Chain A
Amino acid sequence: MTQALFGQLLVGLINGSFYALLSLGLAIIFGLLNVVNFAHGALYMMGAFAAWMLSSYLGIGYWWALLLAPLAVGIVGVVVERTMLRRLYGLDNLYGLLLTFGLTLIAEGLFHHYYGNSGNSYPVPEALQGGVNLGFMFMPIYRGWVVVVSIVVCTLSWFVIERTKLGAYLRAGTENPRLLQAFGVNVPVMFTATYGFGVALAAFAGVMAAPVYQVTPLMGSNLVIVVFAVVVIGGMGSIAGAIVTGLGLGLVEGLTKFLYPQASAVVIFVVMAIVLLIRPAGLFGRVK
């Protein structure tokens, strides 16, 4: 009984780690660029695929993939920002959403066309195989690794944004990009780098996810909508809020899977409806 409960909570915590990583990237991109990046799920999928391709075509393992896949996808992001997103900055932010939606259809369609619907499995790296018995439950080491790494990465991102000079520029750019530019900061480059970083974070999550889930062309397709709901619940105002909400909702989902499995796919949307009723600005959001 408790075994099953803790098992589901762990699965929830892992899902929550991915929600946190993805909503963090979304929040950073939205904060500065004012773009809701619909392509986030597709880029997560591309990260997982990059890892899988590196291993099956070039024999490059997990640890290098953890570095190379986000780099490759980050470069894709930089190209997208430079050639397309950049043209939309002065406009209503719905165009950014629509552009990235179109790119999502293209990316998922192409991967689906070439790799089909079936999943490709990606092995757990040797160093992280096996598991430990925690007394109340058995925990596969890789799953623990996912949770710890994503918390570390999120905390690190939070630290960089809230406590360093680079982060101060970023926050200043979020408040008033024109004034920041007048102070001599190269804001266009900052925009590009921010998009690249947010996208790389999605790809990083994809690589982390590859050994847990199957690598499929549509693995990010429903995920991005859940992450949007997470963002609505948390409010995009704060980085810490995005992380806490992501992990928390993962746990809620895990708990639902234990109590009433049929509702686990929709519980986050139900929570979204309740939050909109009680606190329309989101749990950590500011009312503008």
Chain B
Amino acid sequence: MIRLRSPEAWGWIALLAIGLAAPFLVYPVFAMNVLCLALFASAFNLLLGYTGLLSFGHAAFLGSAAYVTGLAARTWGWPPELSVAAGVAVATVLGWAFGSLAIRRSGIYFAMITLGFAQLVYFLVVQMSWTGGEDGLQGVPRGKALGVIPLDGQYTMYYFVFGAFLAGFWLVWRTIHSPFGQVLRAVRENEPRALSLGYDVDRYKLVAFVLSAALAGLAGSLKALVLQFASLSDVHWHRSGEVVLMTLLGGMGTVLGPSVGALLVVTLENYLPGLDALSESPSAQLRLLSRLGKLPIPVVIGGVFVVCVLAFRRGIVGELRALAARAFTAVKRPSSSTTSSE
């Protein structure tokens, strides 16, 4: 547990303050996009980082929830909370269906199966008429929260999203730090041993999977309201790969890592093309940097992927934590050696 007035608590308070101030510091839609994908990555990390299951099809939950929320808000005229709930419900059901099949195989097969199911969802979305096919589902109204607060303003929308993000993030945090989360970690570290200790491993995996899918759905539903559309890119396997990258880059198996990763990846995708403007700059280094802006985004994302896998597997938060742990032992060691010499 976090004790009040510990450095950790101050850190969380600082992050909360940054989160509250964000829409005044950066473009609000950008900040909301980061929050949605950070929630998506945190949900994903519950599986990869804490249960040791690599799902390569999480876009299916994000995307289907986005489409259903869009449909509910636009065609059926549902209020935003209900539309979001509908999206989450569909993602949860899908998560249960895919999860209960996918956990029948483990390891790398699990990744391939989830990828296959996500592709199934992708093709269904392409073919069904109400999704708008290639154009996506456009013109999703944001509506009024609780029937009174209009969400059309970027700031009110931001705090709506921020509240939902906090709730989702808290749920992930609570899960990780619960006895249930301990069992998940045991499954990750040594599945046969967890099984022999009497834990119904499949059941734990399935619950983790459904929870992760539901939260991914929440992220997708919010995203549809924020951007006011749902598109094929949300169900495409590039999106499933992107969330793996966010988690890996930030640090899998860390609470904060996925959010850090999401922030970096979204920033990269948004501002990289802008580097092109530096090509007129007098400094040679900056001109070299501008070349990066010309590269297609997938190439850059792929490059970051390769670097992360080869040289940076703990991710940013993981590396920082290891660094802190080393510094901590380095401080401790001299004192312990003096006590032993006494």
Chain A positions near chain B (C-beta within 8 angstroms): 30, 36, 84, 87-88, 91, 93-95, 97-99, 101-110, 112-113, 222, 225-226, 228-229, 231-232, 262, 265-266, 268-270, 272-273, 276-277, 280-281
Contacts and interface: CB of A to CB of B under 8 A. Distances in A.
B112 A105 contact: no
A106 B309 contact: no
7 contacts: A36-B112, A84-B310, A99-B309, A105-B238, A105-B299, A109-B295, A109-B297
B298 A272 contact: no
Contacts of A276: 101-102, 104-105, 113
Interface residues of B, number: 41
Given A102-B306, A109-B295, 4 more contacts: A94-B111, A98-B248, A102-B309, A113-B296
Contact of A105 (B119, B124, B298): B298
A94 B115 CA distance: 14
Nearest to B119: A225
Contacts of A95: 309, 313
Given A36-B112, A104-B302, A266 B120 contact: yes
Given A36-B108, A109-B299, A102 B120 contact: no
A132 to B, nearest CB: 35
Given A94-B108, A269-B119, A110 B237 contact: no
Contacts of A268: 116
Contacts of A88: 309-310
Contact of A109 (B113, B244, B302, B309): B302
Interface string B71-105: 00000000000000000000000000000011011
A84 B309 CA distance: 9
Q: Is the interface of A mostly helix, strand, loop or mixed?
A: helix
B241 A105 contact: yes
Contacts of B104: 276, 280
B155 interface: no
A108 B236 CA distance: 15
B139 interface: no
B109 interface: yes
B127 interface: yes
B299 A232 contact: no
A273 B301 contact: no
Given A97-B108, A266-B124, A106 B113 contact: no
